[in-house]
Chains A and B, each alone.
Chain A
Amino acid sequence: DVKVTQSSRYLVKRTGEKVFLECVQDMDHENMFWYRQDPGLGLRLIYFSYDVKMKEKGDIPEGYSVSREKKERFSLILESASTNQTSMYLCASSLPTGQGAGGYTFGSGTRLTVV
């Protein structure tokens, strides 16, 4: 069964901490994405990557950075966590442009609380 795995389901961090959220996919997908999900706002794209070491800003990149050193792994980094970054974070992967309508495969999410 193909999978996108997020390393933590729940995290509690303190304001100012550096936070790493990890995501691994086993489908050999080129594209990987990080979204945050907030009630009434749906999913908002933070960053995405279309290849190893490549990254592009999404709609809300401020306060975040990403790392993609290997094809299967995409990390989201909160350089200095703040309470307004308390949210559900979802990782997804997909085939490249033009390779069909498979959509995204999502991980189960990491619920991050910053106190």
Chain B
Amino acid sequence: GEDVEQSLFLSVREGDSSVINCTYTDSSSTYLYWYKQEPGAGLQLLTYIFSNMDMKQDQRLTVLLNKKDKHLSLRIADTQTGDSAIYFCAETVRGNDYKLSFGAGTTVTVRA
């Protein structure tokens, strides 16, 4: 079955880069996603990557995918206070791609 794991907390200084890591176990993943949840809000899709890609860049966000190690990361360049949030990694798998499996979420705290 699907299993997605993330570290629970990350503290980063304003202006530095943040790197949030995620591992997954299902080798038939099709898409992998990063969602952001700000306090008191629902989840917002940040970016996603198809499983046959190894990198995707979108402004300050860079997603890296290592399929061999089943490792996904999200790098946020020039981290701002507005980046403080919970970040969720999620995957869909072949044959079941309407269903997302989520990690527990990484709480990112940006300090001045």
Contact = CB atoms under 8 A, between A and B. Distances in A.
B99 A106 contact: no
B44 interface: yes
Contact of A43 (B30, B44, B48, B88): B88
13 contacts: A40-B8, A43-B43, A43-B102, A48-B99, A97-B98, A98-B97, A103-B31, A103-B33, A103-B35, A107-B42, A108-B42, A109-B41, A109-B42
Contacts of A98: 97
Given A103-B48, A104-B100, 18 more contacts: A31-B98, A40-B8, A42-B4, A42-B88, A42-B102, A42-B103, A42-B104, A45-B99, A48-B98, A50-B98, A97-B97, A97-B98, A101-B31, A103-B33, A104-B43, A104-B45, A106-B44, A107-B42
Interface of A: 4, 31, 35, 40-43, 45, 48, 50, 90, 92, 94, 96-98, 101-109
Given A94-B98, A98-B97, A101-B50, A106 B104 contact: no
Interface residues on B, range: 20 to 34
A106 B90 CA distance: 14
A94 to B, nearest CB: 7
A51 B109 CA distance: 40
A106 B91 CA distance: 16
A103 B97 contact: no
A40 B99 contact: no
Contacts of A40: 8, 104
Given A43-B88, A97-B97, A101-B50, A106 B102 contact: no
Contacts of A43: 43, 88, 102
Contacts of B90: 103
Contacts of A90: 42-43
Closest 9 CB pairs of A and B: A106-B42, A42-B104, A43-B102, A106-B43, A101-B31, A108-B42, A97-B98, A42-B102, A103-B45
